[in-house]
């Protein structure tokens, strides 16, 4: 495959999202989809369809120019102009896309090095605090039949706790806030991170960030990824609240941890998706928890799968008609 053959990928992403993005939000509003798992699945689908469309139309399916389905007249002029735009754009973007893929791989390496440095510079909490943390984690892992992850305690600022790592994920905890938390509040923090580990969210997050970087020339990819990350946190919040037995209690834990970080002037955004996250996202998560059972509302499984399959199929076919 020549570099110029990638022009259809640029067109699928740059021009295709002007049609795909409105269709997504129309479906969300029309079917009133609120459940974070279903919303997350839709965002993943829309992020992946340009890649799926490109792969299908250059491998399994015949190219339109081979089937004689090219437009005629004025539409042929527009078709050729679109293809020429794509070829010109991809000739400049191809080196950048390769660089972004390399950077994405380096990010994974940097994350592993950061986790190793955190382990090397970990601090030792009191025996009582360590026992509290380990007893909660062991209890949850035993109930979920999950391997007990390593736990690192650190004095670094800017977060409450986060899960990191692909092969053997670990939980990193800020020791400064441990004395300020009750057992129930600490359980909420730790269970949230264990849910991330059980769902393998770190690996999926890295892969989607890599795909987003390859579509950096459109703002829609960043918006979709941000919405996916928010729904991922909402889903973990929902599962954590179900384990704790109270959505309001868990919402109070989110607010308390946020206040503790602000009071200590420890809050700063980092590359790790930590327990509280960005201010606006935290507000949305708390409001969703306080809404009670509204965020649990979900389409029937057969109806949602039909919608997901239909949107994916129609989108890929539509992309193929563009170029």
Confidence of residue 226 (pLDDT cuts 50, 70, 90): very high
Confidence of residue 306 (pLDDT cuts 50, 70, 90): very high
Rounded Cα gap, residues 278 and 253, in angstroms? 16
Phi/psi at 121 (nearest 5 deg)? -105, 20
315 with 53: CB under 8 angstroms?
A: yes
Confidence of residue 320 (pLDDT cuts 50, 70, 90): confident
Q: Report pLDDT for 271.
A: 36
Nearest one of 240, 243, 256 to 288, comparing CA atoms: 240
Nearest one of 159, 175, 165, 168 to 122, comparing CA atoms: 175
Q: What is the 3-state secondary structure (H, E, C) of 96-122?
A: HHHHHHHHHHHHHHHHHHHHHHHHHCC
Rounded Cα gap, residues 70 and 291, in angstroms? 51
Rounded Cα gap, residues 195 and 273, in angstroms? 13
31-69 tens-digit pLDDT:
999 899 999 999 999 999 999 988 888 777 655 544 445
Q: What is the 3-state secondary structure (H, E, C) of the chain?
A: CCHHHHHHHHHHHHCCHHHHHHHHHHHHHHCCCCCHHHHHHHHHHHHHHHHHHHHHHHCCCCCHHHHCCCCCCHHHHHHHHHHHHHHHHHHHHHHHHHHHHHHHHHHHHHHHHHHHHHHHCCCCCCHHHHHHHHHHHHHHHHHHCCCCCCEEEECCCCCCEEEECCCCCEEEEEHHHHHHCCHHHHHHHHHHHHHHHHCCHHHHHHHHHHHHHHCCCCHHHHHHHHHHHHHHHHHHHHHHHHHHCCHHHHHHHHHHHHHHHHHCCCCCCCCCCCCCCCHHHHHHHHHHHHCHHHHHCCCCHHHHHHHHHHHHHHHHHHHHHHC
Rounded Cα gap, residues 7 and 91, in angstroms? 8
Q: Report the alpha-carbon angle 283-287-288, nearest 5.
A: 115
**Quick one: tokens of 305?**
């799968």
Q: Report pLDDT for 266.
A: 47
- Higher-pLDDT residue of 84 and 323 is 84
Q: Report pLDDT for 73.
A: 58
Q: Report pLDDT for 11.
A: 87
Task: Tell me which long-range contacts 111-117 makes (C-beta under 8 A, separation of at least 24).
Answer: 111/164, 111/165, 111/206, 111/271, 112/165, 112/166, 114/164, 115/152, 115/164, 115/165, 115/170, 115/172
Q: Report pLDDT for 1.
A: 58
Q: Report pLDDT for 145.
A: 93
Over residues 219-247, mean pLDDT: 93
Output the pTM of the full model: 0.86
pLDDT(105) > 80: yes
Confidence of residue 268 (pLDDT cuts 50, 70, 90): very low
Nearest one of 192, 194, 222 to 208, comparing CA atoms: 222
Lowest mean pLDDT among 28-37, 74-83, 253-262: 74-83
143-175 tens-digit pLDDT:
999 999 999 998 887 788 999 888 889 999 999
């Amino acid at each position: 495959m020549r570099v110029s053959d990638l022009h259809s990928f640029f067109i699928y992403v740059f021009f295709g999202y002007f049609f795909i993005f409105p269709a997504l939000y129309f479906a969300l509003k029309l079917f009133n989809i609120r459940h974070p798992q279903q919303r997350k699945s839709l965002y993943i689908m829309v992020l992946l369809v340009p890649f799926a469309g490109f792969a299908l139309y250059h491998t399994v399916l015949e190219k339109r120019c081979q089937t004689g389905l090219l437009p005629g007249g004025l539409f042929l002029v527009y078709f050729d102009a679109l293809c020429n735009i794509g070829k010109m754009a991809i000739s400049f973007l191809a080196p950048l896309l390769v660089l972004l893929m390399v950077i994405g791989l380096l990010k994974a390496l940097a994350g592993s090095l950061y986790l190793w440095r955190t382990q090397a510079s970990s601090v030792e909490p009191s025996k009582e605090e360590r026992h509290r943390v380990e007893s909660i984690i062991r209890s949850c892992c035993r109930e979920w039949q999950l391997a007990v992850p390593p736990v690192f305690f650190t004095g670094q600022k800017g977060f409450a706790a986060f899960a990191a790592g692909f092969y053997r994920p670990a939980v990193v905890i800020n020791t400064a806030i441990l004395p300020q938390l009750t057992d129930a509040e600490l359980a909420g923090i730790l269970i949230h991170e264990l849910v991330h580990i059980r769902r393998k969210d770190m690996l999926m997050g890295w892969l989607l960030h890599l795909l987003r970087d390859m579509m950096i020339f459109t703002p829609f990819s960043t918006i979709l990824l941000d919405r996916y990350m928010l729904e991922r946190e909402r889903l973990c919040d929902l599962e954590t609240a179900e384990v704790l037995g109270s959505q309001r209690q868990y919402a109070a834990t989110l607010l308390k941890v946020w206040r503790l970080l602000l009071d200590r002037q420890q809050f700063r955004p980092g590359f790790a998706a930590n327990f509280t996250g960005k201010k606006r996202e935290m507000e949305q998560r708390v409001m969703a928890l306080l809404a009670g059972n509204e965020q649990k509302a979900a389409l029937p499984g057969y109806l949602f799968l039909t919608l997901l399959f239909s949107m994916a199929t129609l989108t890929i076919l539509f992309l193929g008609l563009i170029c």
